[in-house]
Amino acid sequence: MNILLTGGAGYIGSHTALALMARGHQLVLVDNFSNSQPEVLKRLSNLSQGMPGSFDFHQLDICDAKALAAVFAAKAAAGQHFDAVIHFAGLKAVGESAREPLKYYQHNVAGTVTLLNVMQQYQVNCLVFSSSATVYGDPQSLPLTEQSPTGPQSVYGRSKFMVEHILADYCAANAAFSAVVLRYFNPVGAHPSGQLGEDPQGIPNNLLPFISQVAVGRREALTVFGNDYPTPDGTGVRDYIHVLDLADGHVRALEQLCNQAGQHLFNLGTGQGYSVLEMVEAFRQVSGHPIPLHFAPRRPGDVSACYADAGKARQQLGWQAQLNLTDMVSDTWRWQQQNPQGYRTANQAVGTAVEENADV
Ligand code: NAD
Ligand code: UFG
């Protein structure tokens, strides 16, 4: 298939691109590099050597309708068309979304509408969308099924939820359109080569990148947000899923559902929850490094526990997470060791370290 990946240079986009090339798909990646580095493209080229698929890249912002339309026009000029779009591009920092809501609605919501308009213009009728378990808000019961009550608690979460509604409305109006909404739980891990991984800019918001930066000596200690949750050890419980499993979920959803009109909604998680302290212990064992930590009050907006019922994806897509906690942690650790400053060069990293220290 010919597939457009927005946000294709990002963490989940780059891993999914590789999985799609391994299946022989022809890709066009677009990204504005607001949260990624061009170095990703070199790594993708190397890793995809010998694979049946291939990729092109265009640097652009999805809010720029003209630039986006030019990519579709170039495809048409070559006598081809996109069979589908996988839409990863978006902003994802929950705290920042509260401080800059308009930026989040612009990129995540308006950007998606711009993309849908261009897709409509070029009659591209399949979109796979990166949604989030955050649309469930504070769970009333666990595990979360796709039918569980929703109620996102952050601007970020509401931006994802709004797009889900927009896609439902567009499917209702366009009988040929297929929208696959994938609600990710907590993506972690890295490519086993150590060449692709998560490269947060500045201080990581998420648990595993923070732990791995402590283990590698880039940060002194982990702050554990809350030890008084109603969980077995008092710390927050989440459904961590390996990014390779997530990538495989996209491949299956795309290959099976793109020609089936309507909105299709799936949780992508493992169904297994781990606490913060269990993640710390797993990382300590795999890395052999101590992970100093201290406890602090709960982080505003955090829920006590969140994990998926992944039965629908298993039954309807034949998809099930294959990789376990040790895989997630050892692949993260390999990536962190091989790329202690992420994708940035040593020079850029010096600048970043100075800025970060000023913040801390
Ligand atoms: P990421 O930041 O690594 O990747 C997103 C990519 O989109 C980045 O490369 C960024 O430069 C690009 N981008 C952002 N805005 C853009 C714009 N306006 N135009 C063009 N490119 C733009 O994030 P990720 O972890 O790979 O997440 C991918 C998607 O999955 C996001 O939509 C995110 O909200 C969603 N998601 C992520 C998680 C998670 O924990 N990683 C969980 C649930 C959902
Ligand atoms: N945590 C810490 N210390 C840290 C970072 C996190 O104790 O430095 C704890 C959190 O309090 C939580 C757990 O580790 O209990 C996981 O936190 P993450 O930030 O890694 O993940 P969240 O579940 O809070 O959020 C993630 C994504 C969101 C997404 C949400 C639901 O970051 O974008 O999952 O899909 F919305």
pLDDT at 354 over 70: no
Kindly list the protein residues whose Cβ atom lies closer than 6 A to any atom of ligand 1.
7, 9-13, 31-36, 61-63, 88-92, 107, 111, 130, 132, 184, 187
Please state, rounded to an integer, the average pLDDT across all residues of the chain.
95
b/e burial code for range 180-205 (CB count within 10 A of at least 16 → b): bbbbbbbbbbbbeebbbbbbeeeebe
Indicate whether residue 96 lines ligand 2 (CB < 6 A).
no
In the reported structure, the alpha carbon of residue 327 is separated from the centroid of ligand 1 by a whole-number distance in angstroms of 23
Long-range CB pairs of 38-44 (<8 Å, 24+ gap) are: 38/9, 39/343, 39/344, 40/9, 40/14, 40/196, 40/343, 41/9, 43/14, 43/195, 43/196, 43/343, 44/14, 44/17, 44/18, 44/196
pLDDT in tens, 259-318: 999 999 999 999 999 999 999 999 999 999 999 999 999 999 899 999 999 999 999 999
Q: Tell me the CB-side half-sphere exposure of residue 270, using CA atoms within 13 A.
A: 21
Q: What is the pLDDT of residue 103?
A: 98
Spatial distance between the Cα atoms of 118 and 293, rounded to a whole number of angstroms: 48
- The residue whose C-alpha atom lies closest to atom 33 belonging to ligand 2 is 92
3 exposure class (CB count in 10 Å sphere: 0-12, 13-18, 19+)? buried
Q: How many angstroms is it from 124 CA to the middle of ligand 1?
A: 22
Ordered domains of the chain (ranges, CATH): 2-354 (3.40.50.720)
How high is the pLDDT of residue 143? 98
- The SS3 call for residue 126 is strand
The answer to whether residue 356 scores a pLDDT higher than 60 is no
Annotated catalytic residues are 156
What pLDDT score does 332 carry? Answer: 98
> What was the pLDDT predicted at 301?
87
pLDDT of residue 344: 86
- What is the position in ligand 1's atom list of the atom closest to the CA of 92? 34
Q: Within 10 Å of residue 288's Cβ, how many Cβ atoms? A: 9
Q: What is the mean pLDDT of residues 224-253?
A: 98
Task: With cut-offs at 50, 70 and 90, classify the pLDDT of residue 166.
Answer: very high
Helix (H) or strand (E) holding 287: helix 276-287
Q: How far, rounded to the nearest angstrom, does the alpha carbon of residue 37 sit from its chain's CA centroid?
A: 16
Q: What is the mean pLDDT of residues 2-13?
A: 98
pLDDT tens column, 48-106? 999 999 999 999 999 999 999 999 999 999 999 999 999 999 999 999 999 999 999 99
